[in-house]
A and B are shown apart, each in its own frame.
Chain A
Amino acid sequence: MDKSKTAQSFDVEKIRADFPMLSTKVDGRPLVYLDNAATTQKPLAVIEAVRRFDSEHYAPVRRGSYKIGEVATEMFEDVRKKVATFLNAGDTRQIIFTSGATQSINLVAHSFGKSLGAGDEIIISNMEHHANTVPWQMVRDERGCVLKVIPVNDDGTLSMEGYAKLLGPKTKLVAITHSSNVLGTVNPIKEITRMAHSVGAKVMVDGAQSVPHIKIDVKDLDCDFLAFSGHKLYAPSGVGVLFGKYDVLESMPPYVTGGDMIVTVSLARSTFAKPPHRFEAGTPPASQVVGLGAAIDYLNSVGFEKLAAYEQLLLEYGTKVLSGIKGLRIIGSAPHKAAIISFWLEAAHPHDVVTILDQDAIAVRGGHHCAQPVMERFGVPATTRASFSLYNKTSEIDQLAESLQKVIKVFG
């Protein structure tokens, strides 16, 4: 009851005013942006922070030993602290800046993957994004590992019995999404981690869909790695984070090599820096990192509890409204879900749905969402996906439903 009260007192118009993109028009119609699982719009605070950094503070970070270089470095490293606090990671050396969740996962696959040998087992699930599937197939093929897949139940939940059966003494890593980008399902990471650790396996969490919507506490989850992207968190694209437990990171060889990740380099050999710098070769995306810091400040100012409760209200409302549409089948009905609704409309293919909705300036995603194994599991070639965020309104969901009726009329 408290939760719904919090959600109702949420001033969405005030939030919307912070996002310039939301007041734009598409062919004269106000934009209805419902593709937040793909990427989110940015608040003015983020846009301004990047502009200010670029116009007043820009300099090489962690290289320039002059005043503006030192200031830029301090601003950059401050965000590392901010991210560590945001995730409750503690030690800031456990925060690595990457280009996005995809690179974060590839880093783990490449570097941690080197510790794996023939016959070692990696577990993923049937609801992974391609970014958490393909890297592990590569590791399997290169190192002779065995890749096992946790089945997904009909309601979109993970089969925990199936998971328990796959775990064994040869399991070295469990790479699992916290929240599915198609089904919305939020997986019980704490339990998954506990079970994995009991057989001595490490856990890598793909947090791309969860970090923007659920308060994350990596100490509580006890995961060994967690990856996420800035651009799904109201920050600029081109920046992401990999959290890793320090002792695990310390044991890993570098991923990308080059400048700024070494201690010494001679023509014969090089020695590598300690984490996190070992994994941050080259000039980092400093402006984007600063933007990420501003996005975290923004979310903190709104309050995670409030935004999470509000997004759940949007999910409930959206589920109710869309369920009422004839011939519409929602895919993914887990009890614990993020604000994502994927559906199959009998009347039309998702691509046609997207085109018609676009005429009403409604942006939704149609396709396989880089998760073809999920499509196969649920027997659909593609789905239409509406994904909500703290700035969406219930009236936008009404517009979505109205527009879907047009689709049915055209194709009916």
Chain B
Amino acid sequence: MSYQSDLYQQVILDHNKNPKNFREVDGHSHSCDGYNPLCGDKIKVEMKIADGLIEDVGFSGSGCAISKASASLMTVNIKGKTVDEARVMFDEFHKMVVGELDTKSAKHHLGRLTIFEGVREFPSRIKCASLAWHTLVCAIDKTGEATIE
């Protein structure tokens, strides 16, 4: 196990340095503030959802490389997806980082997000990786517009 191959892969470092969708979303329909009391990381997720489709998503705040890169890659991967698809991805992502989903053997919809699989070897960093996702689901739920089928 090494931090460079398992945790800080180049893609993660790149997204930390130059995060995608690191911005506020004008005219957003959904938003939520996420907070990790252990380290003080703060993140805001804003989304424009129409007819169950995530048309736009952005995030702001401060955090470590893992939480920032995770937020960045999350926005890239859920943009254009439906709310239901995003929920499935949240569920799979969560299972992956806590070690309940092996992306090599099980079917999943995580695509490139599997680069966070190494986080499972660093228990104290699981919350960093999942903060953005929890905030996303909170944003979806808050207004009660999202539906679960």
Contact A351 B39 (CB under 8 A): yes
**Cα A349 to Cα B128 with chains together (Å):** 12
Contact A410 B40 (CB under 8 A): no
Contact A381 B3 (CB under 8 A): no
Which residues 1-29 of B have a CB within 8 angstroms of A?
2-4, 7-8, 13, 16
Binds B, one of A59-67, A205-213, A321-329, A365-373: A365-373
Asked whether B38 is an interface residue with its Cβ less than 8 Å from the other chain, the reply is yes
Which A residues lie within 8 Å of B125 (CB)?
351, 355
Chain B contributes a number of interface residues (CB within 8 A of A) equal to: 21
Contact B40 A349 (CB under 8 A): no
**Cα A221 to Cα B47 with chains together (Å):** 57
Asked whether A356 is an interface residue with its Cβ less than 8 Å from the other chain, the reply is yes
Asked whether B63 is an interface residue with its Cβ less than 8 Å from the other chain, the reply is yes
Which B residues lie within 8 Å of A381 (CB)?
40-42, 62-63
Which residues 40-70 of B have a CB within 8 angstroms of A?
40-42, 62-66
Contact A350 B66 (CB under 8 A): no
Asked whether A348 is an interface residue with its Cβ less than 8 Å from the other chain, the reply is yes
Which B residues lie within 8 Å of A372 (CB)?
40
CB within 8 Å: A-B pair count: 50
Contact B66 A367 (CB under 8 A): no
Chain A contributes a number of interface residues (CB within 8 A of B) equal to: 17
Interface centre among B40, B41, B66 (most CB of A within 10 A): B40
How many whole Å from A144's CB to the nearest CB in chain B? Answer: 28
**Cα A366 to Cα B4 with chains together (Å):** 19
Which A residues lie within 8 Å of B41 (CB)?
351, 381-382
Which A residues lie within 8 Å of B124 (CB)?
355
Query: Looking at the complex, which one of A351, A359, A375, A410 makes contact with B64 (CB distance below 8 Å)?
Result: A351
Which B residues lie within 8 Å of A367 (CB)?
38-40
How many whole Å from A35's CB to the nearest CB in chain B? Answer: 13
Which B residues lie within 8 Å of A350 (CB)?
39, 64
Closest to B2 in A: A359
Which A residues lie within 8 Å of B38 (CB)?
367
Closest to B65 in A: A352
Which residues 345-386 of A have a CB within 8 angstroms of B?
348-352, 355-356, 359, 366-368, 372, 375, 381-382
Asked whether A317 is an interface residue with its Cβ less than 8 Å from the other chain, the reply is no
**Cα A350 to Cα B36 with chains together (Å):** 14
A and B contact pairs by CB, cutoff 8 A, 26 listed: A348-B65, A349-B64, A350-B64, A351-B64, A351-B66, A351-B125, A352-B8, A352-B64, A352-B66, A355-B3, A355-B122, A356-B3, A356-B8, A359-B2, A359-B3, A367-B39, A368-B39, A381-B42, A381-B62, A382-B39, A382-B40, A382-B41, A410-B4, A410-B8, A411-B16, A411-B65
* Chain A residues near B (Cβ < 8 Å): 348-352, 355-356, 359, 366-368, 372, 375, 381-382, 410-411
